[in-house]
Amino acid sequence: MSEPKISMVDLEHIAKLARINLTESEKTIFLPQLESVLEYLDVLNQVNTDNVEPTFRVNDQKNVLRDDLIKDSFDQKTALSSASKTQDGYFVVPGTIKK
């Protein structure tokens, strides 16, 4: 078997960085699991990706948002015309925070 890729000290340091408190029994459970993950990453690192173009999205869509266009909008009087109550050019609504 090859040399371990992660030590108990490394695991404790990672747990500290993640602000996770591990018991000793959890450490003995997670250390081999993390080692297994790192071994699998070694397998993935052996895959030849020389002719594979790097990607950051899985489809061909570009920016699907529309361009921002300045258009005419309601004037204040029209915007407030359907309000049940207004004051000084603003909507008046029931309070939501009680003092």
Residue 2 pLDDT class (50, 70, 90 cuts): low
**pLDDT of 17:** 97
DSSP H or E run through 34: helix 24-45
What pLDDT score does 79 carry? 92
Q: Which residues pair with 72 in a beta bridge?
A: none
Percent of the chain at pLDDT above 70?
Answer: 98
Q: What share of residues in the chain are helix, strand, coil (percent, to 5)?
A: 35, 5, 60
SS3 91: strand
57-68 pLDDT per residue, tens: 778 777 778 888
How far apart, in whole angstroms, are the C-alpha atoms of residue 34 and residue 19? 17
